[in-house]
């Protein structure tokens, strides 16, 4: 399923290939996700295309510095970013899609990141 989206002001635009609904999404409770209301869709790099706004993005890193949070310089919205948990994928913010999609939301305890990541990996291996 092809989806498009972007930031609030429209400077940043992307297209992504998503699985058929219900689309798996992750609801993380870490400090930045909780404060911004971010809802994650994991999209492999090869199924994501930034179609506009590369020069409009500003980068922010904290903690380990492994994740690269990308914000629109104009409106401040983080429509996608490079997560620490999935280095081969972009995390797309469900709230930034042009059209809503049916989701299957799974909680992720980002406050206890190491254990939550181990649980997620085990769950993904089981299928």
First-to-final CA distance of the chain: 21
Domains of the chain in start order, with CATH, are 2-126 (2.170.150.70)
**Residue of 24, 9, 14, 2 whose CA lies nearest to 80:** 14
pLDDT in tens, 3-60: 999 999 999 999 999 999 999 999 999 899 999 999 999 999 999 999 999 999 999 9
pLDDT at 61: 96
With cut-offs at 50, 70 and 90, classify the pLDDT of residue 127.
Answer: low
CA 26: distance to chain centroid?
9
pLDDT digits (tens, 9 = 90+) for 64-119: 899 999 999 999 999 999 999 889 999 999 999 999 999 999 888 788 777 878 88
Threshold 0.95, pTM exceeds:
no
Half-sphere exposure of 11 (CA within 13 A, CB side): 16
């Amino acid at each position: 399923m092809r989806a498009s989206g972007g930031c609030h002001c429209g400077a940043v635009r992307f297209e992504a290939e998503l699985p058929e609904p219900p689309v798996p999404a992750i609801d993380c409770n870490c400090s930045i996700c909780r404060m911004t209301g971010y809802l994650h869709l994991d999209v492999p790099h090869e199924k994501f295309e930034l179609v506009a706004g590369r020069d409009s993005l500003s980068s922010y890193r904290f903690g380990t510095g492994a994740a690269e949070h990308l914000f629109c310089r104009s409106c401040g919205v983080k429509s996608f970013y490079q997560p620490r948990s999935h280095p081969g994928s972009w995390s797309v913010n469900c709230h930034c899609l042009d059209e809503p999609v049916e989701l299957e939301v799974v909680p992720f305890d980002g406050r206890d990141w190491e254990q939550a990541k181990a649980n997620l990996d085990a769950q993904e291996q089981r299928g």
